[in-house]
Copies of this chain bind each other. A is one copy, B any other.
Amino acid sequence: MATVEGCLVASTHRGCKALSSSFEGGVNSVILSDGMTRGPVVQFANTKRCNELKQFIDNPENFKELCRVFNSDSRFARLLEVKVGIAGRKAFLRFKCRTGDAMGMNMISKATQKALKFLKNEHFQDMDILSLSGNYCTDKKPSAMNWIEGRGKSVVVDATIPKDVVKNVLKTTVDEIVSLNISKNLIGSAMAGSVGGFNAHAANIVTAIFLATGQDAAQNVESSNCMTIMEKTDNGDLYVSVTMPSIEVGTVGGGTHLDAQKTCLKIIGVAGANQENPGQNAQTLAKCVASTVMAGELSLMAALAADHLVSAHIAHNRKK
């Protein structure tokens, strides 16, 4: 992690310690989906034509043809789906594709341009391509789209921490930390009108790792979308999970070739492209981000809960 905030490292370290004592012997992680997106906007004379474009793309045969064109440009670009949104006579096409171990914005931009030209030249000559990006992607802006549909890697990690580890390592209780998570990360963020910000400080960890590993730090905006959930299990232990639908990372391209950054990637064991299984290095890095975020969440939430525990005890005694 690259940060000038020293206690961020120490704090995350404590969370990691708690997680290493989990019943799972660490952290479980799943990749729900993996695909970079680009959402151009095109325009027709009327909405009827927009709908014909949508029907065309939704047709499996046509989609197969579109994939062929889209994928022809790169060894790694693999079109997964095109989500078509229509506003009046404008159509927004959200292309989603696999991009190997690259974060993939350049790759998808080129392939999308090719696909648009194909659509225009071969099938919809009256289509006016307004812009390669119509903010339907959505890149580096807050949006419900990325929260609901995902962008880059959609990752969930979880673990179950024994109640005595909560007590001895995190210095709080399962009840305290679970209750605070509801008050702050669920209710508090809901009161503030947040979409996707149901966490304590995911952005701190995301930014630190992005800088350390050569990612595009501006993409922190959506990559730090995160919901932290804490629950008391039937046995009284702490179930914790972190859901991050839009982590945008790569292990090739961008700043990943710089010396210091490359060294960091090597330490994690994900430098460069994965030869056997393209995309696996980037996925591992995304899991790494989410796991470290979970450590950071545990530690900060524990600190806040412990403060409350202490002050609540004092208050209780004072009353007597």
Which single member of B134, B158, B197, B304 contacts A143 (CB below 8 Å)? B197
Q: How far is the CB of A41 from chain B (nearest CB, A)?
A: 5
Flag whether A243 is at the interface (Cβ < 8 A). yes
Contact A144 B147 (CB under 8 A): yes
Q: Of the candidates B120, B139, B186, which one forms a contact with A190 in the assembled complex, judged by CB atoms under 8 Å apart?
A: B186
A186 to B186, CA, bound (A): 7
A241 contacts across to B, CB distance below 8 A: 47, 87-89
With A88-B229, A195-B195, A243-B87: A32-B46 Cβ-Cβ less than 8 Å: no
**A127: nearest chain-B partner, CB-CB:** B315
A15 to chain B minimum Cβ distance, whole angstroms, is 16
Number of copies: 4
Docked pose: A189 CA to B87 CA in angstroms: 12
Residues from chain B with a CB closer than 8 A to the CB of A158 are 46-47, 88-89
8 A Cβ contacts from A142-158 to B: 142-149, 156-158
- The reply to whether B4 and A258 form a contact with Cβ atoms under 8 Å apart is yes
> Contact at A85–B148, with CB atoms within 8 Å?
yes
Whether A184 contacts B41 by the Cβ 8 Å rule is yes
- Chain B residues with CB below 8 A from A160, complex form: 46
Q: 1/0 per position for A234-272, CB-CB distance to B under 8 A?
A: 000001011100000000001100100000000000000
- How many chain A residues touch the partner (CB < 8 A)? 106
Residues of B close to A203: CB separation below 8 A: 140-141, 218-221
Q: Does any Cβ of B come within 8 Å of A188's Cβ?
A: yes
Residues of B within 8 A of A119 (CB): none
Q: Smallest CB–CB gap between A81 and chain B, Å?
A: 12
Tell me if A198 counts as interface (CB < 8 A to partner B). Answer: yes
Chain B residue with Cβ nearest A196: B142
Q: Given the complex of chains A and B, what is the CA–CA distance between A203 and B183 in angstroms? A: 24
* Given known contacts A28-B48, A51-B30, A86-B243, A190 and B190 CB-to-CB distance under 8 angstroms: yes
Determine the chain B residues whose CB is within 8 A of the CB of A197 once the complex forms.
Answer: 135, 138, 141-143, 221
* CB contact between A211 and one of B54, B214, B217 (< 8 Å): that residue: B217
Which A199-228 residues have C-beta < 8 A from chain B? 199-204, 206-208, 211, 214, 216-221, 224-225, 227
- Which residue, of A137, A160, A182, has the highest number of chain B Cβ atoms within 10 A? A182
A43–B207 alpha-carbon span in the complex (Å): 31
8 closest residue pairs by CB, A with B: A141-B197, A144-B193, A88-B241, A144-B144, A135-B188, A140-B203, A142-B142, A145-B192
26 A-B pairs within 8 Å (CB atoms) are namely: A4-B258, A30-B48, A32-B51, A41-B184, A46-B160, A50-B156, A85-B191, A86-B243, A87-B187, A87-B241, A92-B192, A132-B307, A133-B200, A135-B184, A140-B224, A142-B221, A143-B194, A148-B148, A182-B186, A191-B227, A197-B221, A207-B218, A211-B211, A217-B217, A218-B224, A221-B221
